[in-house]
Amino acid sequence: MAQLILTGSLKNLTNGIGEFTIQARNVHQLVGELKRICPPLAPLIESEGFAVAIDGEIYQDILFAAISENSEIHLIPPIGAG
Amino acid sequence: MNDMTQTNLERALKIVGSRPARPDGVDKVTGRALFGADKSLPNMLVGRVLRSPYAHAKIISIDTSKAEELKGVKAIVTSTDFEDFPSEFVPNGEMVVNMKDITRNVMAREKALYVGHTVAAVAATSEDIAEQALALIDVTYEVLPHVLEVEDAEKPGAPLLHDDMITIGIEPAPESASNVAKRVEFGFGDVEKGFSEADLIIEREFTTQQVHQGYIEPHACLASVSEDGQAELWCTTQGPFVVRNFCSKLLGFNAAQIRVTASEIGGGFGGKTVVYLEPLALALSRKSCRPVKMEMNRAEVFTSSGPTSGAKIWVKIGVKNNGQITAGDCVLKYQAGAFQGAPVGPGAMCAFAPYDLKNVRAVGYDIVVNRPKVAAYRAPGGPISEYGVESVIDEIAIKIGMDPIELRLKNAAKEGTIAPYGPKLGPIGMIETLEAAKSHPHYSAPLGPNQARGVASGFWFNIGGETSSSITINEDGTVGLTLGTPDIGGSRASMAMMASEELGVPMELIKPIIGDTNSLGFNFLTGGSRATFSTGTTVVESTREAIEELKKRAALLWEVSLDQVEWFEGHARLISGDEPKTMSLAQIAKQAGKTGGPIMANCSMNVTGAGPSLGTHIVDVAVDEETGQVSIIRYTAIQDAGKAIHPAYVEGQMQGGAVQGIGWALNEEYIYNEKGELENTGFLDYRIPVCSDVPMIDTVIVEVPNPNHPYGVRGVGETPIIPPLAAISNAVSRATNKRFDELPLSPPKVLAKLMHG
Amino acid sequence: MSKTHVATHINGDSYEFLCNTQQTLLDVLRHELDLKGSKEGCATGDCGACSVMMDDRLVCACLVLGVEADGKKIETVEGLSTGSSLDPLQQKFIDLAALQCGICTPGVLVAAKALLEKNKNPSEEEVRFWLAGNLCRCTGYDKIVRAVLEVAAEARNT
């Protein structure tokens, strides 16, 4: 099962829980899962521009980026471009 | 990983890595190239902006009637001509913006929030008449107390810029409004435990001032809206598609109605990623049905565009006597300007990112103040936070008697390191740049009297994003490339080089242009060190697709199956058969019409896999203890480029970023008076480095390839502005045996510290 | 207020135009004469993007009034090349990548040419101080200075 790992102030949204087991094969399904198990996290990806790091690779707005069985997932806030 | 890429990392390259002339070079050295203010149209009007004289004021009423009667005035706009929006974050490509704030920054509504804030705009038949009209607009203000510094803005009872601003990221949410828009926190492990394991802890507070990107070309645009609502916009911008997006939303156009053409751009560095004049010019043009040209003068660029944050930074690092960092902690308070959106998140994310830490925490606060809304400036947020961390690392090195490069090597992040913001890093060049610095002759060169040497490293993420480009094979076998990312620093040369490498034809036969917003799918802007990486990826992919089509045509003409044809050095080549058969690109192209039609390919994708770029800089300074003047004696910039497509332009990014950092470290700052008016609104007193201020900037390009780009490219544009701040501060500290903790290190400040400690 | 009639020479050609007394030479070049190669970066003589030669003297066109051009010899970036031959400075800037965005380039080229006409063998320091009035934000000046020094060296060797 893939793991979503949360650090820092993101844990404010999850009552301090830092790890979620995720059953999702892509980011689109991840968002759906989050709506089910931890609703405050879903808007981060859907509308606040958060990127999803899957096994270290950062995917910004890639709904169908693949999540594998043992993937480690992180949420990354938007990075400005200068 | 971009699935379509096959990397060329092992192949011997013919043109990638060399230094050919850039295709737009002649136009630029002859003055032929057209920048934002260089275009005119028949029947054109000139637009000018009325700006708030107050740092903070309610706008009670605006009466434009007298101005409207002035002969020659053809249109006036105020907030009634712009849509209002609820507070909501919406994407604009890979950028996320709050349209409620954007519309108010473009045109003030209830309040003026900084001196220079747009309150109205006029289009008239001449600049003189437009200026006279501005003076005839009657604005009634109710002046309010203002606040300029983060620590003042945080205090209870401080003047409130937005009375509905409830800090996000604090649990439980505050009950009343404040000037703190957001709190963010990154990190993992247990910093308190880490500090308890340390043999030495250093804690320091730093202050940086607001600085401007300092592009020499002011904002300028030419908008033309016709009677049927179709709009053409010519503007100097880092992102024409982003401009189209902003302007459509602000003015109620749809994307098909506005065609944006990016002019050549005279510098941006992040400052031309948002809109200021463009929506005003479009609104005025729509009202008058005549083209409207608008330019900012230099003072307006400083007061009314988007500088970057000034900040307060607190850093605490614990180490063991052998140099191992046991914990790193920082708190960052960044000025957002009039509306939320300081780059404190990225600043917090990359503060400690050059290092492999077990216990790390970075907390950031986004705080509004009565200054212009900040815009991106080269690695937005990074230089500020990394200045604090790199300074404390240097102080630690001195205290434990360790060489500052060795100390960094001992703690260096590498592939597999968990970044402070969570994920594991892929291959990066931190160690490689440190080793290159250590072995560089500069590092062991003798120092003169009153001279000292400083070192610092820097990390920036780099981004990919939505990109679209196309390639056409002309009937004579020459090639056209249409790119969607404006060329600020020579990137169109690199694109032509990559296409040349793929096709096996000389670069001189390839003409790259930047297309308008009708020519391509959405392109996110030039910025984030993404152009050579992202547009380069699509150029390579579309070129490979064109090659497949060229092979198909050869196969048709030879009456063989496609798998018997390969592409080699500009030719289709028959793999099997007794006699060697080749057909040049030109020969295939000549028959394209008869073998299926014109040959063209495009690649549109959301490019992923950008790799961070690490840099380490070495600087020698001399400090004049009588005047406080700091001189840069010698400078070496070392950075990981992944793969330098055109080394001269990679060097150029490193040198330009380093010198901007020198300015930020030594001299640049916004100076406000007690009325909140910016006092240094010109290049005389907002002094960026001039030619005689700096020596040659030596460069070393390290190449740790990024496996996610066909040629291994990493973005390089932003990282080089990060190391100079601490490198110079560290050098000055070592030269004077005092620990400096504020920027800029201008002569009065250096002198004050020398005299009073 | 009536306009003033001005007759001048620019890049070897005769020009006549009308302008207001408050218009600068830069305004006139760009708006009356469509010579857009000289750029406005500040309009206060601090950035040098509008550098032109007036009677063989390097000036900021934004600090000269249009009416002052009457009877004078003006040289702008547009006059650096001859036919299809680039001035050695122009060619060298391309060869050494001494420009990135290109906005400061016209002014820098005019200023550099003025230096080399006065001093055939400038030191690095002399080049840097001569060009101190031409701001560049992209290049950090390194490749610009190298280009000027190389052109000077090549001219001395021919």
Which residues does chain A have within 8 Å of residue B466's beta carbon, measured at their own beta carbons? 61
Tell me if chain B has a CB within 8 Å of the CB of C111. Answer: no
Three-state DSSP at B306 gives coil
The DSSP secondary structure of B219-242, one letter per residue, reads: PEEEEEE-TTS-EEEEE--S-HHH
In angstroms, the CA B533 to CA B73 distance is 47
Do residue B688 and residue C135 have CB atoms under 8 angstroms apart? yes
Q: Answer yes or no: is pLDDT of B5 > 70.
A: no
Average pLDDT over residues B303-330: 98
Average pLDDT over residues B576-588: 90
Which residues does chain B have within 8 Å of residue C38's beta carbon, measured at their own beta carbons? 31
Which residues does chain C have within 8 Å of residue B215's beta carbon, measured at their own beta carbons? 101, 103, 137
Q: Answer yes or no: is pLDDT of B115 > 70.
A: yes
Do residue B94 and residue A81 have CB atoms under 8 angstroms apart? yes
Which residues does chain A have within 8 Å of residue B88's beta carbon, measured at their own beta carbons? 47
Do residue C97 and residue B651 have CB atoms under 8 angstroms apart? yes
- Taking only residues 325 to 384 of chain B, the set having a beta carbon closer than 8 angstroms to any beta carbon of chain A reads 343, 345-346, 349, 361-363, 376-381
Average pLDDT over residues C18-33: 97
Average pLDDT over residues B646-661: 98
Average pLDDT over residues B168-181: 94
Tell me if chain A has a CB within 8 Å of the CB of B707. Answer: no
Query: What is the average pLDDT score of chain B?
Result: 96
Q: Answer yes or no: is pLDDT of B1 > 60.
A: no
Instruction: Give residue B9's pLDDT.
Output: 61
User: For residue B315, which amino acid is it?
Assistant: V
Q: Which of B11-20, B347-356, C21-30 has the lowest mean pLDDT?
A: B11-20
Do residue B423 and residue A12 have CB atoms under 8 angstroms apart? no
- CA angle, B549 then B552 then B555, to 5°: 155
Do residue B379 and residue A82 have CB atoms under 8 angstroms apart? yes
Tell me if chain B has a CB within 8 Å of the CB of C149. Answer: no
* Closest among B13, B18, B26, B9 to B648, alpha carbons compared: B18
Do residue B377 and residue A82 have CB atoms under 8 angstroms apart? yes
Do residue B345 and residue A77 have CB atoms under 8 angstroms apart? yes
CB-nearest to C90 from B30, B35, B688 is B30
Interface test with B, best of A60, A68, A70, A75 (most B CBs within 10 A): A60
Do residue B651 and residue C47 have CB atoms under 8 angstroms apart? no
Q: How many CB atoms lie within 10 A of CB B620?
A: 22
* Closest among C92, C139, A63 to B267, alpha carbons compared: C139
Is residue A60 within 8 A of residue B610, CB to CB? The reply is: no
Q: Which of B96-100, B141-145, B283-287 has the lowest mean pLDDT?
A: B96-100
For A66, nearest residue in chain B (alpha carbons): B1
CATH fold for the domain made of C88-156: DNA polymerase; domain 1 (1.10.150)
Whole-Å CA distances, B660 to A73, B694, B719: 36, 11, 12
Instruction: Give residue B485's pLDDT.
Output: 97
* DSSP assigned state of B211: B
Place of tokens 């958060």: A50
Structure tokens at A58: 């950062």
% of chain B beyond a pLDDT of 90: 95
- B3 falls in which pLDDT band (50, 70, 90)? very low
Q: Which residues of chain A have pLDDT under 50?
A: none
**pTM for this one?**
0.97
Instruction: Give residue B92's pLDDT.
Output: 87
- B580 falls in which pLDDT band (50, 70, 90)? confident
The DSSP secondary structure of B452-517, one letter per residue, reads: EEEEEEEEE----EEEEEEEEE-TTS-EEEEESS--SSSHHHHHHHHHHHHHTS-GGGEEEEE--T
In angstroms, the CA B418 to CA B433 distance is 19
Q: What are phi and psi of B192, to 5 degrees?
A: -65, -45
Instruction: Give residue B417's pLDDT.
Output: 97
- CA angle, B718 then B275 then B121, to 5°: 145
Q: Answer yes or no: is pLDDT of B569 > 70.
A: yes
Reported as a single tens digit per residue, the pLDDT across C44-67 is 999 999 999 999 999 999 999 999
- Taking only residues 589 to 648 of chain B, the set having a beta carbon closer than 8 angstroms to any beta carbon of chain A reads 606, 608-610
For B524, nearest residue in chain A (alpha carbons): A81
Structure tokens at B531: 């152009």
Average pLDDT over residues C123-127: 98
* Closest among B310, B347, B385, B335 to B181, alpha carbons compared: B335
Instruction: Give residue B344's pLDDT.
Output: 97
Asked whether at least 3 C-beta pairs link C and A within 8 Å, the reply is no
In angstroms, the CA B101 to CA B98 distance is 5
The DSSP secondary structure of B73-109, one letter per residue, reads: EEEEE-GGGS----S-EEEETTEEEEHHHHHHHHS-S
| Residue A35 CB contacts under 8 Å (≥ 6 apart), including other chains | A42
Average pLDDT over residues B118-124: 98
Is residue B341 within 8 A of residue A49, CB to CB? The reply is: no
Instruction: Give residue B7's pLDDT.
Output: 59
Whole-Å CA distances, B396 to B16, B404, B405, B573, B616: 42, 8, 12, 63, 18
- Taking only residues 20 to 59 of chain C, the set having a beta carbon closer than 8 angstroms to any beta carbon of chain B reads 30, 35-44, 46-47, 49
Q: Are strands B451-460 and B465-473 parallel, antiparallel or unpaired?
A: unpaired
* Closest among B502, B131, B459, B110 to B297, alpha carbons compared: B131
Average pLDDT over residues C63-84: 98
Q: Answer yes or no: is pLDDT of B561 > 60.
A: yes
Tell me if chain B has a CB within 8 Å of the CB of C70. Answer: no
Do residue A7 and residue B187 have CB atoms under 8 angstroms apart? yes
Do residue B524 and residue A61 have CB atoms under 8 angstroms apart? no
Is residue B657 within 8 A of residue B721, CB to CB? The reply is: yes
Do residue B35 and residue C99 have CB atoms under 8 angstroms apart? no
Instruction: Give residue B728's pLDDT.
Output: 98
Instruction: Give residue C4's pLDDT.
Output: 97
Three-state DSSP at B2 gives coil
Domain borders along chain C are 3-79, 88-156
B neighbours by CB contacts (3+ pairs under 8 Å): A, C
Tell me if chain C has a CB within 8 Å of the CB of B297. Answer: yes
Class of domain A2-76: alpha beta
Instruction: Give residue C3's pLDDT.
Output: 95
* Closest among B642, B441, B636, B640 to B533, alpha carbons compared: B642
With the CA atoms of B97, B101, B106 and B112 taken in that order, what torsion angle do they form, in degrees rounded to the nearest 10? -160
Class of domain C3-79: alpha beta
Three-state DSSP at B286 gives helix
| Residue B12 CB contacts under 8 Å (≥ 6 apart), including other chains | none
What is the rounded radius of gyration, in angstroms, for the C-alpha atoms of chain A?
Answer: 12
Q: How many CB atoms lie within 10 A of CB B438?
A: 18
Q: Answer yes or no: is pLDDT of B329 > 90.
A: yes
Tell me if chain B has a CB within 8 Å of the CB of C144. Answer: yes
Q: Answer yes or no: is pLDDT of B127 > 70.
A: yes
Interface test with C, best of B216, B265, B293, B633 (most C CBs within 10 A): B216
Q: Answer yes or no: is pLDDT of B501 > 50.
A: yes
Our CA-based measurement puts residue A47 at a distance from the nearest CA of chain B, in whole angstroms, of 6
Backbone CA torsion sign across B421, B422, B428, B432: positive
Q: Answer yes or no: is pLDDT of B8 > 80.
A: no
Q: Answer yes or no: is pLDDT of B22 > 80.
A: yes
Whole-Å CA distances, A5 to A9, A36, B188, B194, C118: 12, 17, 11, 21, 67
| Residue B697 CB contacts under 8 Å (≥ 6 apart), including other chains | B635, B636, B637, B654, B655, B658, B659, C140, C142
| Residue C154 CB contacts under 8 Å (≥ 6 apart), including other chains | C88
For B525, nearest residue in chain A (alpha carbons): A81
With the CA atoms of B706, B710, B711 and B717 taken in that order, what torsion angle do they form, in degrees rounded to the nearest 10? -60
* Closest among B387, B457, B426, B422 to B208, alpha carbons compared: B387
CB-nearest to B609 from A8, A12, A57 is A57
Reported as a single tens digit per residue, the pLDDT across B665-704 is 999 999 999 999 999 999 999 999 999 999 999 999 999 9
- B4 falls in which pLDDT band (50, 70, 90)? very low
Interface test with B, best of C20, C46, C100 (most B CBs within 10 A): C100
Instruction: Give residue B757's pLDDT.
Output: 77
Q: How many CB atoms lie within 10 A of CB C58?
A: 22
Three-state DSSP at B5 gives coil
- B10 falls in which pLDDT band (50, 70, 90)? low
Which residues does chain B have within 8 Å of residue A7's beta carbon, measured at their own beta carbons? 186-188, 421-422
Q: How far is CA B337 from the centre of its chain?
A: 18
